[in-house]
Amino acid sequence: MIDVLTIFPALNSELIILLKSLKPADWERKTVCSSWTIRDIAIHLLDTNLRRLSIGRDGHSASNNQEFNNYDELVNYLNQQNADWVKALQRVSPVILIEMIAQYQNQLLEYFNELDPFDTALFSVRWAGKEHSENWFDIAREYTERWLHQQQIRFALNDQKLLSPQFYHPFLTTAMQALPYTYVNVKAPIGTVVKVEIVGEAGGSWSIIKDKNFWSFVDDEVGNASALIFIDQQIAWLLFSKGINPMDAAQYYQLHGDTELASHALKMLAVMA
């Protein structure tokens, strides 16, 4: 179990402090998040709070019971929903936007604290290949989304605050849960071990092993790994969120052993994309 509820309040607080510190021109800065500005990301963060509270806490759904034939259809639908909201909220001032984010992110945290961590979550963590997830994993996923979007804002401002172990390690620990799913279609002999190490004070190491049908996490030493990849923590979050092409980040990672096998870790995504 990954428990992020204790760090969530500090993450929320840092976001409000950051947004209140922005100068008018800062809101229009471009970010690594596609064509979104800092203002657009802040608007999206408000949307995620409101939607999750409406659906989870209040039992409200404005959907048309649309069914999706595949993962790409779901992603395209979510992207369009996000774009529509961002466009509509351009008329809202930064002052009102900050007030609403502060109010509803705190209400969302109260809602999360009321949930049984081991009950089945309303939403599965699809980027980890899960058809069903427990609440603790869904809440950890929510943490990664909010960490990521705040980090995208800070990255545009050359601010390193969220790369401290306090905030970044929970993000990395949760994101790495996508590692076995990343290798789901990769063939290898039974017993093959792949190890990923995020290098930096907030980092860590994670190993997966191939059994008869699946890849799963295992405790392992570097010497026993058939494939090993070292990734600088400065670039890890960008790799795992489609913020940078692996080819453009080559100076920030090293592949050892079976390099082709190790390279599949660079395709890992911890976002719906």
Domains annotated for the chain, with CATH where assigned, are: 8-163 (1.20.120.450), 178-267 (3.30.1050.10)
pLDDT at position 67 over 90: no
In the prediction, which pLDDT does 90 show? Answer: 82
Please tell me the distance from the alpha carbon of residue 118 to that of residue 24, in angstroms, as a whole number: 44
Cβ atoms of 46 and 15 within 8 Å: the answer is: no
Look up the pTM and report it: 0.92
Q: 187-216, pLDDT tens digit by residue? A: 999 999 999 999 999 999 999 999 988 999
Q: 112-171, pLDDT tens digit by residue? A: 999 999 999 999 999 999 999 999 999 999 999 999 999 999 999 999 999 999 999 999
Please tell me the distance from the alpha carbon of residue 261 to that of residue 194, in angstroms, as a whole number: 8
Q: 98-113, pLDDT tens digit by residue? A: 999 999 999 999 999 9
Q: Which two tokens stand for residue 75?
A: 């992603």
Give residue 74's pLDDT band: very low, low, confident or very high (50, 70, 90).
low
Q: 221-250, pLDDT tens digit by residue? A: 656 899 999 999 999 999 999 999 999 999
In the prediction, which pLDDT does 61 show? Answer: 80
* 215 strand-pairing partners: 210
In the prediction, which pLDDT does 152 show? Answer: 97
Please tell me the distance from the alpha carbon of residue 45 to that of residue 212, in angstroms, as a whole number: 41
In the prediction, which pLDDT does 86 show? Answer: 74
Neighbours of 12 (CB within 10 A): 19
